[in-house]
Structure formats: C-alpha cells, structure tokens
Structure 1
Amino acid sequence: MVRRYVITFANPMGGSGKTTSGMLLAEQIALSGGRVSILDLDPNANILAWSESRKADGRDVPFSVYARPQAEDTVELIDQLSGETDYLIIDLEGSKDQIVTFALSRTDLCIIPLDGSPMEARQAAAAAVRLVQTTSSMIRAPIAYSLLFTRTNAAFQTTDERDVRQEMEINNIPTLPTRIAKRAPYTRIFRDGVLLSELPGIVTDEHEGKTASVTDKAMKQVVAAIENARDYAQAVIHALTKERAA
C-alpha cells in the first residue's frame, strides 16, 4: 500500500514563518523525487500567488498548488488530492475557522512554526496545540503535531529559545530538533518568486565581475540556507514515518 501523507502548517499569529516553512518542505520533497501538492488555505494566498506568477513568466513549478475551496468542499478536496500525490502540504489560515478544523481532521502531522521568544512561543503553542487537541477529540482519533522553531539566530541558540524548548519538553509538547534560521535567501523566495535551489545560479550571475571574497560570502549564505532546509525536511519526514510506525 502506498504511503501518502497530509502535513498541515498552523499558527494563529502572523509572521511565524508558516508559509515559508511549507514552501521549503515542498521544494525539498520535490527535489528528492516525491510527488507534492500544496493546498493554500491561507486567505493571503501567498503560495498560490507565487505559483501563478512563475507560471505567467513561463517558469517551472515543481509541485501543484491549489486554491482555497468552499468550506463544505474542503474534506472532499483533501481526500482527492491526498490520493493523487505522495505528500499534501496545507498552509492553514490563522483563525479558528471551520475550514481549519476540516483540514486538521485529515492531518497526519501538524507543524506549528514559531519564533524563539517566550511570549510568542507560549501563546502560539497554547492556541495551536489546543486547536489540534480539540479537533482530535471531535474526530475521536489522535492528530500528531510538533513545534518548529523558525526565524532563529543562525549562529547560536539564544537563551530564550533554550528556555522555551525546555519548557515544552517538561510539558510533553513535541518539538522538531531542526530549526529554521532567519536567512536572507528565504526572504527572496516570495520577494523574487524563486526556488531556493535556483539561488546558486542567480547569485553567481549577480556577482559576475565582483571580487571572489564578496561572491564567496553571498554563496555561503545560500549554501547554508539550502543545508538548513534539507535538514529540516529530513526531520519532518522522520517525524512522519515515526508516527506512522507507532
């Protein structure tokens, strides 16, 4: 039997890196040969706009992107898409909307992105985890979830992040071991409508004629971002397979 997965990204607060985290995961899985679809349920529809912009320019989109349906059609669409792809990634809206509950009811793993500040972490974790647990009670089935630290310091783990991780561990709230650092290449994904994997070529062209030291510095940032995204995707896949095997 083919193993297919539905992964949702949820956070009631904006600016948590939810959409970027979903995009990075989708690209990494696609690069590894997996069939990926994204269902953009966020009212801002940033992923859908990114996809349509690339298509309009004649550029490749390595995964399928679908727009937000009517609430009553959500479950049917998720079931359809999850039957046609290996990984269905869903970018949820922030509010406690009915469509969010419908999507969570079909989720294999809900990832809750948040930054390392204690206030943000506690508020986001409390609201998002409570929503997942409430939906789990409604459908009378467990829904796996995990926190993901995003927009973190690339050089080191701050005291705030360490304290929040310890607090989550004490409260038995699962957290992905890999963090997504705050990196300039990630901001270019939506700003410039690019894929992370395209940036080495883009940076090379941009720095033509510049000194080797300047070029190397820019390229190191891209390489570090790609390695970070790859490690993060591997952590998600490990969490998924671990839950499926349990």
Structure 2
Amino acid sequence: MGVLQNRVAIISGAGSGLGRAASISFAAEGADVVLLGRRASKLEETAQLVKYRTGKVPLLLQTDVSVDLQVEQAIETAYEQLGRIDILLNNAAIMEPGTVHEITSENWHNQISVNLTGPFLLSKAVLPFMRKAKYGRIINITSGLSWNGSGGYGAYSAAKAGLESLTRTLADEEHEHGILVNLYNPGTLRTEMHATGKDPAIVTPDLIRLASLPQGGPTGTILSYG
C-alpha cells in the first residue's frame, strides 16, 4: 500500500514535465489524481501514462489556473466526484524571457497571473475542503531565481519570490487547521521550459515526502533537490 493511499491529489500543469511525472508518481503511491492544465491533448497523454503505469484512471479538468471561475469550477468538480481534496501541487508555470526594459505590460501580467495568482486561486479554492477535513498538504514549486534573480527573467523571478512569501503566509494562517504548506525547488529540470536538466521523475520522491508529511510536520519551509 502506497503512502498516498486514499488521498486525492490535485496537480496543476499536469500535461508535461514535472506535473506529468508527479501525476504518475502520486498515483503509483495510491493517490487518486486530478490533472489540471490548459491543453486537453497534453492532459490526455498524461492520463494514458498514469493508467498504463499505475492502473488508476485520473480525473482530467482542462483549466486555466489564472482564471477565477475556471479554478472554482475545477475544484468543485473534483470534490463532487472524489469526495475529498487532500493534496495540492501548484506546479503550473510559464517562463518567457525579457528584460525589464523590453518586457511588455501584457507579458508581465501573464507571467504573474499564471505563476503567482494561479497558486493563490487554487489554494484559496481548496482551503474550505481541507479545513473541513482538518487535513491538507499544499506544495508550491519555486526556483532559485526567486532570491537570485536573473537578467532577462524579471517577471518569472518576481512571481516566484511572491510565491515564497505567499507560502509562508499560508503556512502561518493554516497550520491550526491541520494544513501544511511548503515550497519545493527542484533545480533545473528537462521540460518544455528547459532543453537540458534532470529527468523530472528523479525529484518526485521529494514531492511524495512533502505530500505525505505527518500531522505536526514542517510547514512554511523550502526543500531543495539534493
């Protein structure tokens, strides 16, 4: 029996990269997984892999995490169909280069809306169900750029810095309700955003560890690969 047996895990950005690897790993540990993403075809690919490798049939919900109504509907549907929400992995992200001098306001807002507002909306939507159960595990994916910054990636870096602050705030607000909120920095992964790096599957054991923390476990912390 896996450590996530009988848990329901919602994974954003599940259509590729770390989200896809986490979906497979969480299901292999017994979780019922809910796949969120903007591209239905990519979610279908992940769903087929989850079913092939674990035998579990995930719930697919095409969702733009930056749109309030879509997030609310997705979370309500997940709860209605599965009866509980235990884990949220805020993984969806976009990275578009551009210096502060050249980046457009539209591009800035787009990156902030997906990388920071998305996790806020999803977390806000799942909190009532987690509070009711007095149990929840929220994992937010961050990056070293949150504190180092990097020329040409101001919007992405700023969003991740904001996400880290939001994580610590949520951890402080929700620990009394049995909800643990932590950050994970996987380092450079080989995904659609990076041509080189580690296989995302290498870091999923760390995510499982955060998703299965015991009551009273660490909250408001950051765990990095390696």
Work out which of the residue numbers 125, 136, 145 in structure 1 matches 2:130.
136
Report if aligned partners of 1:37, 1:64 keep a CA contact under 8 Å in 2: no
Work out which of the residue numbers 166, 179, 189 in structure 2 matches 1:168.
166
TM-score by length of 1: 0.50
TM-score by length of 2: 0.53
* 1: CA distance, partners of 2:58 / 2:88: 20
Determine which structure has more spread, i.e. the larger CA radius of gyration: 1
Report if aligned partners of 1:118, 1:161 keep a CA contact under 8 Å in 2: yes
Matched with 2:44 is 48
* 1: CA distance, partners of 2:167 / 2:8: 22
CA distance 1:142–1:29, change in 2 (3 Å): closer
RMSD over aligned CA atoms reads: 4.2
Matched, 1:61 2:52: yes
Matched with 2:104 is none
Matched with 1:213 is none
Q: Write 1 or 2 for the structure with the bigger share of helix.
A: 1
State the Cα deviation string for residues 141-183 of structure 1 (Å, max 9, x = none): 3322121248x97xx7644255224422442353332236463
Matched with 2:116 is 122
The offset of 1:45, in angstroms, is 5.8
Matched with 1:201 is none
The offset of 1:105, in angstroms, is 4.5
* 1: CA distance, partners of 2:188 / 2:216: 29
Matched, 1:110 2:88: yes
* 2: CA distance, partners of 1:22 / 1:235: 13
Structure 2 letter corresponding to 1:238 = R
Moved more, 42-51 or 105-114: 42-51
State the Cα deviation string for residues 169-222 of structure 1 (Å, max 9, x = none): 442353332236463xx34xxxxxxxxxxxxxxxxxxxxxxxxxxxxxx8xx3x
* Uncovered stretches (5+) of structure 1, i.e. residues with no partner: 12-16, 55-59, 69-90, 188-217
* Uncovered stretches (5+) of structure 2, i.e. residues with no partner: 64-69, 96-110, 151-156, 172-180, 218-226
The offset of 1:129, in angstroms, is 1.0
* 2: CA distance, partners of 1:144 / 1:2: 16
* 2: CA distance, partners of 1:142 / 1:61: 30
Matched, 1:6 2:7: yes
What count of residue pairs does the alignment treat as equivalent? 170
* 2: CA distance, partners of 1:50 / 1:162: 25
Structure 1 letter corresponding to 2:202 = R
Higher relative contact order (CA 8 A, sep 6+): 1
* Identity over aligned pairs, percent: 9
Q: Secondary structure at the match of 1:176?
A: strand
Matched with 2:21 is 24
CA distance 1:39–1:235, change in 2 (3 Å): same
The offset of 1:24, in angstroms, is 0.7
Q: Secondary structure at the match of 1:172?
A: helix
* 1: CA distance, partners of 2:23 / 2:58: 16
Matched with 1:146 is 139
Aligned pairs (5 A) from 1:166-245: 166-173=164-171, 174-179=181-186, 181=188, 183=190, 186-187=191-192, 221=196, 224-226=197-199, 228-231=200-203, 233-243=204-214
The offset of 1:132, in angstroms, is 0.8
